[in-house]
Amino acid sequence: MAIARFPQVVLDCPDPAALATFYGALLDWPVQSDGDWATIRAEYGDSIGFQQVDGFVPPDWPGQERPQQLHLDVTVDDLDEAEAAVLRLGATKHPHQPGTTFRVFLDPAGHPFCLCVG
């Protein structure tokens, strides 16, 4: 049985509403925005999130000095059970936990991802 489902790609950016509007228009997905966060979602459920970051510096792809910037959010039914499962897989719980409906972890390579209550 899968630990999680429905990953959501989240892009860091200086203006979530503006970037969501761009991608919403590109994909014809409606935009939802609340200031620091915006989401576009297809009728069939796929979505992309946009997170406001102060002092955002865009990636310099394909260079590695400023590589691509994104993380995954995955939906889980039970945060405690999912946390135990991802820790068994080799994830590390990040010391900074800014919310109560999600938890931040680092994958084995150090990339951040979030377990989120559905």
Global confidence as pTM? 0.74
Amino acid at position 20, single letter: A
Closest CA to 55 of 12, 111, 95, 17: 12
Q: Which two tokens stand for residue 98?
A: 């800014």
Q: Specify the pLDDT at position 47.
A: 93
Phi first, then psi, for residue 29 (nearest 5°) are -110, 140
**What's the Cα-to-Cα distance from 81 to each of 19, 32, 87, 93, 115, rounded to whole Å?**
34, 30, 10, 14, 11
Kindly write down the DSSP assignment for every residue of 43-66, as one continuous string: TTS-EEEEEE-TT-----TT-SSS
Low-confidence ranges of the chain (pLDDT < 50): none
Domains along the chain? 5-117 (3.10.180.10)
Q: Specify the pLDDT at position 77.
A: 94
